[in-house]
Every structure is written in C-alpha cells, then in structure tokens.
Structure 1
Amino acid sequence: MYFGKKTSAFTEPSWARTEQLNKALETADAIVVGAGAGLSTSSGLHYSGPRFETHFGDFIEKYRFPDMYTAGFYPYPTPEEYWAYWSRHIYWNRYDRPVGEAYRLLLELVGGREYFVLTTNVDHCFQDAGFDEERIFATQGDYGLWQCSLPCCERTFGNEEAVRRMVELQRDMRIPTELVPKCPACGRPMAMHLRCDDRFVQDAAWYAAQARCTGFLSRHRTGRVVYLELGVGGNTPAIIKYPFWRFTRENPDAVYACINPEPWPLPVEIAPRAVWIGADIRKTLEEIIKSRAK
C-alpha cells in the first residue's frame, strides 16, 4: 500500500539486533508501541491448547472447535447458548487472567518515557499492567464492553457484573433466559464491542483516545522516534504496520523495530533504519532489560 518494493528480513545474529533495539529505545525522544495479538500470546493468553480445553471442554466436545477464535464466530442456535460461550470467553480473557509478563516487561522499558500505545488487542492487558489509560488507543474494541446490536446509539456499556453472573449461573452450556443482555436504550439484543463489521460503535471515549493518539503522532513526526511493533499479524496491517513503515520513511531520524517470530519482508526504503527480531516477544524484552542491568 505504501511501498512498491520490499526486501527480505534481516539475517544478523539476534543478539546484535537486540543491542541495536536497546540503543534505539534508550536514545529515543518518543516511543510508539504498536501491539497485536502476538503480544498477548507471548504472555500466555493462548486461544487454543490446554487453556482452551480447560475452560471450554463442553463446547469442544459438542462442536469440535479447534480454538476460541473459531468458537466466537459460530452461529449458536439460541441466545442462551451464545452468551454461555461468550460470557466465558470474556471472563477468561478479560476478568480472570494474568496480566502477562510481556506486558510488565514492556512497561518497565517504556513506562518512564514519552510513549503511546496503538493496539488492536481487545483484552485490556495494557490497562491492567499499569500503562497510562490516556496513552492507549484500542482501535478494535474491548471485551469488557457491549453495544447495541443495531446499533441504536453511539454508546457502549460495561459488562463485568453481568458476565460474572452469566458464568456463575449457566448450566449445560446455557445461561438463564433472563440474563440475555438487552440494550438499555432500545431493548434490542446486545452485541460484543468488537470491530467485526460496519456496526462497530465508536463512542465518545473511542474518539477521545483516537484524538490523543493522532496528537501524539503529529507532535513526534520528527526527532528520534522508535516505532516498536509487537506481535502484529497480517489481518489488519493498515492499522499499525503500514503506518509505522510510512512514518519511518518520512522521518530520517526514526527507527522501525519489529519483534515477531513470523517474518515479514521489509520495504527497502526503511531497511537501513529497521530492526526485525524473529523471536519470542517476552524473551526479547527480558533480554534487553537484563542487558541494561549489567
């Protein structure tokens, strides 16, 4: 979208790239963190495997789901069963889960600096790890919020109390009918506040966060800026990856850094000022912090 030619990822030893990233972070005027699902995965929030099997064994037995992502898109036959699944999904990924070591380590690296977080994650881990809420823009929604399914209004609604009751009272993969959530404004069914289609609600809080993010990026179009991309996949590259490439190209003092086990070809225009580390995010951040303590 932004570049006509790409080059393959770097092949230097990982320790050399880690040192290069550490130096860029230590000398940066500003750090823009762009985070995708890989950051939460590195923190142990896996959507498949033992964690999925422990909390969703009955759904797996009935539907043979391979992971939570697939289960979330299934057309359940009744709203009672739909919310039995989704209340558990919200509960285990938003309200009863560890913050994750990768988030704690990241906060240790950037917490005292001029930083901003742009993330497609919806699990609220940044906030729970202690990142400043005024420095976070979660573009794709939040598991802790519901919206009207129509929607009839540009509002979102906190769901913690309702979700906990659904989890507590559900039986045989169904919640009590009286717990099926309805929009308090119009009475229609509630929906998850996740960007799945054009019905996603961008409420006042969403626009305020967007404005703070836009302002931060505008103030730091020049100078020593590190665009630190963590665990971003190929589903929505236009939100983080492509803008980070463009910002780096436009600012000759900027550095683009990416920590992701999955390689992604880099544009030739920014390759001399780019650092790609094909390793686990948590382990890489831990390595940087340990190197600073020596």
Structure 2
Amino acid sequence: MFSKIQTKTSMKDCSGDPEIFRRKLREADTVVIGAGSGLSVSAGLTYSGERFKTYFADFIEAYHMPDMYSGGFWPYESLEEYWAWWSRHIFYNRYVDAPKPVYKNLLELVKDKDYFVITTNVDHQFQKAGFDKKRLFYMQGDYGLWQCSVPCHQETYDNEAVVREMIARQKNRKIPTDLIPNCPVCGKPMTMNLRCDGTFVEDAGWHEAKNRYDEFIRSHEEMKVLFLELGVGANTPVWIKYPFWQMTAANPNATYVCINLGEAIVPNEIRHQSICINGDIVDFI
C-alpha cells in the first residue's frame, strides 16, 4: 500500500502543533510506541564523535575505525580482541545509563496510559527507565544476551556478569582467553543475540513478547489508538513505520505521530490523521 515513492511526502503536509499532540494523547485509549535508533541517539547514546573516542581510543588508534557500528563488523585478529571490543560495546550501550533522560521523560508521558512498545533498539533503555517489561517487544535482539553462533539450539544467555569481568580484566585490546564464551551445548563460539542474518535466535522470551504485542494490537484495533513513532529511519521501515501507517489507515479513530529530526514524513493517505514533528526527540518530549 505504501511504497517508497508514494511516501516521500513533506512534513509540511501534516500538523506539527504540540497542542494537537497533547490533545490527542489525552483523548487516546491507548498508545503504541514504535522506537528506532533515533530515540537512543537523542538520549545521548551516539556511536560516533566524542563518546566513541572516549571509550574506544585504543581501537581507533590501531584500526582507524570511523564509528562504533563499523567496529561491530571488524575482522579482528583473535577472539580475545573480538570480545574486548564487544564487551566494551555492550557495557557502554547496555549497562550504562543514557546521558540524557529521554526514556524516563517518555515514561512520564505515557505511564498513566494503556501502552505497548515495539522497538528495533537493542540497548534495553526502556526497561532501564522503568517501563513495564511485559509491555516491551525488543524484536531485533538485546545487547545483554548471547546465543550460540551456529546456532545449535534456540536459547539465549544473560551476559552481564561475564561482560563486567571482561571489562575489568582486558589489557592491550584483549581479554584473557579463559573468558571467551563458548556454547554450553556444542562448544562453538557464542555470538551476540542481534538480528543481522539468518542465525538470529528467537528464544521463548522473544516469542512471548511478540505474542503479547500481537494480542495488544488485536484487542485495541478499533479504539482511539495513538501510534507514536520515535526516531525510526528509512533503513528498515517494514518493522514499525509501514505497519503503523497501515494500522492508522485501517482505523479512523487512530492518530499517527512521527517525531524524527529530518525524517518526519507521512503518506498522503493518512495525512489527515497524522502529526509530524521535525525535531530532536529530547526537546519535544
């Protein structure tokens, strides 16, 4: 229904008035939040610039990496070096609080509403901010989980204790060999539980969260729903953006809200049901 060409619509085509947003929020029976990487960037969890230089200066000096994202795909010389990188990447993006309280402020906005969150973010900041974990669907994985790299089975494993030990014991861009994580079933190397190829493990917890989200959508489909899209880019619109557009079009009682710096767009079909805010989420929230 919504192709890339059809949806290249200027944000001027829908209202960006904060007062209209406040009214729609008050009137809504429920709020469905769809969050992309732009929300965490607004919270200060940036993958480049000074933050990157502060935590990865030694890797930058050795490999001239442009940003954290690139470092996740780097051809490291050993597993000891690979896990020195990833333990830092996990720690500073999963176990450290975001520099700005965007997630906490967002919770204040919706805490008295019947809400649900679907997000492609893997930094777990919603739960850290106090959102009800039964109302969260991290559909792309979690920095806090490892899985078998094969994978030989459909389970994931909490990594916090080992990651903290890797951080404490690493030297010269390497962790001790005895800390390299291996699958407890087949012995092959562990890897991140992130959706980047066909090996992504959708464990029992993932399916439970998906089922809760699907049931939430079904049970509210004719109500006054506010679809609040935050920082979702155009790289993977099929997970949040397109479904939000489609559900808004199917429900005349729904309102679609897009807050995104430089990418606040809406298709003509739902322009009359939409609010677009072209700005930084931290300022608006």
Scaled to the shorter chain, the TM-score interval is over 0.9
Q: Give CA deviations for 1:133-174 in whole Å, capped at 9, x if unaligned.
A: 000000000000000000011000000111011111111001
In the alignment, which residue of structure 2 is the partner of 1:267?
267
Q: 1:170–1:176: 8 Å Cα contact kept in structure 2?
A: yes
Q: Secondary structure at the match of 1:245?
A: helix
In the alignment, which residue of structure 2 is the partner of 1:96?
96
Q: 1:145–1:156: 8 Å Cα contact kept in structure 2?
A: yes
Q: 2:258–2:265: 8 Å Cα contact kept in structure 1?
A: no
Provide closer, same or farther for how the CA distance between residues 190 and 134 of structure 1 changes in structure 2, counting only shifts above 3 A. same
Q: Secondary structure at the match of 2:256?
A: strand
User: Structure 2: how far apart are the matches of 1:97 and 1:29?
Assistant: 31
Q: Which runs of 4+ in 1 moved over 4 A?
A: none
Q: 1:40–1:100: 8 Å Cα contact kept in structure 2?
A: no
TM-score (norm 1): 0.93
In the alignment, which residue of structure 2 is the partner of 1:177?
177
Cα deviation, residue 266, structure 1: 1.8
Q: Which amino acid aligns with 2:246?
A: R
User: Structure 1: how far apart are the matches of 2:13 and 2:240?
Assistant: 25
TM-score (norm 2): 0.96
Cα deviation, residue 184, structure 1: 1.0
Q: Which amino acid aligns with 1:161?
A: A
Q: Which amino acid aligns with 2:7?
A: K
User: Structure 2: how far apart are the matches of 1:156 and 1:81?
Assistant: 22
Q: Which amino acid aligns with 2:105?
A: L
Structure 1 portions without partners, runs of 5+:
286-294
Q: Give CA deviations for 1:223-270 in whole Å, capped at 9, x if unaligned.
A: 210100000011210000000000000001100000001225421110
Q: 2:11–2:278: 8 Å Cα contact kept in structure 1?
A: no
Instruction: Give the 5 Å matches for 1:198-217.
Output: 198-217=198-217
In the alignment, which residue of structure 1 is the partner of 2:282?
282
Q: 2:169–2:176: 8 Å Cα contact kept in structure 1?
A: yes
Q: 1:99–1:129: 8 Å Cα contact kept in structure 2?
A: no
Cα deviation, residue 95, structure 1: 1.1
In the alignment, which residue of structure 1 is the partner of 2:30?
30
Q: 1:99–1:128: 8 Å Cα contact kept in structure 2?
A: no
User: Structure 2: how far apart are the matches of 1:260 and 1:192?
Assistant: 28
In the alignment, which residue of structure 2 is the partner of 1:254?
254
Structure 1 position 142 matched with structure 2 position 142: yes
Q: Give CA deviations for 1:84-138 in whole Å, capped at 9, x if unaligned.
A: 0000000111112337411011100111110000000000100000000000000
Q: Which amino acid aligns with 1:10?
A: M
RMSD of the TM alignment (CA)?
Answer: 1.6
Provide closer, same or farther for how the CA distance between residues 6 and 97 of structure 1 changes in structure 2, counting only shifts above 3 A. closer
Q: 2:14–2:272: 8 Å Cα contact kept in structure 1?
A: no
Structure 2 portions without partners, runs of 5+:
none
User: Structure 1: how far apart are the matches of 2:206 and 2:99?
Assistant: 23
Q: Give CA deviations for 1:169-221 in whole Å, capped at 9, x if unaligned.
A: 11100111111100111111000000010000000000000000000011111
Cα deviation, residue 66, structure 1: 1.2
Q: 2:14–2:274: 8 Å Cα contact kept in structure 1?
A: no
Q: 1:9–1:276: 8 Å Cα contact kept in structure 2?
A: no
**Percent identity over the alignment?**
51
Bigger mean CA deviation after superposition, 112-121 or 100-109: 100-109
Instruction: Give the 5 Å matches for 1:69-218.
Output: 69-98=69-98, 100-218=100-218
Q: Which amino acid aligns with 1:38?
A: G
Q: Give CA deviations for 1:265-290 in whole Å, capped at 9, x if unaligned.
A: 421110011111001101101xxxxx
Q: Which amino acid aligns with 2:159?
A: N
Bigger mean CA deviation after superposition, 98-107 or 55-64: 98-107
Q: Secondary structure at the match of 1:104?
A: helix
Q: Which amino acid aligns with 2:115?
A: Y
Q: Which amino acid aligns with 1:20?
A: I
User: Structure 2: how far apart are the matches of 1:8 and 1:188?
Assistant: 48
Q: Which amino acid aligns with 1:65?
A: M
User: Structure 2: how far apart are the matches of 1:255 and 1:13?
Assistant: 12
Q: Which amino acid aligns with 2:77?
A: P
Aligned residues: 284
Provide closer, same or farther for how the CA distance between residues 226 and 180 of structure 1 changes in structure 2, counting only shifts above 3 A. same
In the alignment, which residue of structure 2 is the partner of 1:292?
none
